[in-house]
Amino acid sequence: MKNIDYFLGGMKQLDIIPSDEIIEQFKTYYKLLLDWNEKINLTSITDEKEVIVKHFLDSLLLVKSINLNNIQRLLDIGTGAGFPGIPLKIIYPHIDLVLLDSVNKKVVFLEEVCQKLKLTNVKCLHGRAEDYAKDLDHRESYDLVVSRAVSKLSTLSEYCIPYVKEYGHFIAYKASDYEFELEDAKHAIQLLGGQVDKVDQFQIPNSDIMRTYVCIKKISATPKQYPRKAGSPAKNPL
């Protein structure tokens, strides 16, 4: 990684002072991302500075919205190439992390990343969010659920809120123009046992890109019929 000072400067803006070991982990992660991207479609972003900003720093920006020292169990839904879950795990190794994606090749990639980075207490799951949410090992058992997936917030809420335990949080990574999506999702959020706690907007370090975090608090149990069967949340949002 040639632009390490650029990365360090971005992390400093987030009050993150990484150890040499952490820097090596990010270097290895970047190399694996490039190597695997030649075989499977992980990301259209491969330029080093762009990966630093749009994947690494964007993932870590969450530290401005929630204190991750207080999070024990975290689920990243639709994680893809591991964002934001793996960067957060690197900085907060105490977190018990679960990465969920519906594309098996991506899950195989994630397993190699975790092995090469020597990350412990990480599970990489292949499957759909609608299916794992029925599993009692996962349903309503996470302190924090995050998703940087591109689905509409009403759909994402049905994927994610069932996994959040009472008084835990679901945080959706959204673009700056979130208002219509949020208004459209309010009924679904309430129906699923959630309540909008706050909406944070921050600038990603080393860029002019604004990131929005819609923070939803779980205030009551999700009714058993949600999420609906696979495909329904996307086709017919609540």
Per DSSP, the three-state class of 171 is strand
Which structural domain range is residue 123 located in? Answer: 4-235
Round to whole Å and give the CA distance between 52 and 88. Answer: 14
Number of domains in the chain: 1
Is the pLDDT confidence value at 149 over 90? Answer: no
Q: What is the pLDDT of residues 183-237, one digit of tens each?
A: 999 999 999 999 999 999 999 999 999 999 999 999 999 999 999 999 999 999 9
| DSSP H helical ranges for the chain | 4-13, 20-37, 48-51, 58-60, 85-91, 104-116, 129-132, 153-160, 179-191, 232-235
Mean pLDDT of all residues in 46-72:
97
Average pLDDT value over all residues in the chain: 96
Closest CA to 11 of 217, 148, 205, 216: 205
Closest CA to 141 of 198, 71, 209: 71
Residue 211's CATH number: 3.40.50.150
The side-by-side arrangement of strands in the sheet containing 164-174 is: 122-126, 96-101, 73-77, 142-147, 164-174, 210-218, 194-203
Amino acid identity, residue 200?
D
What is the value of pTM for the model shown? 0.96
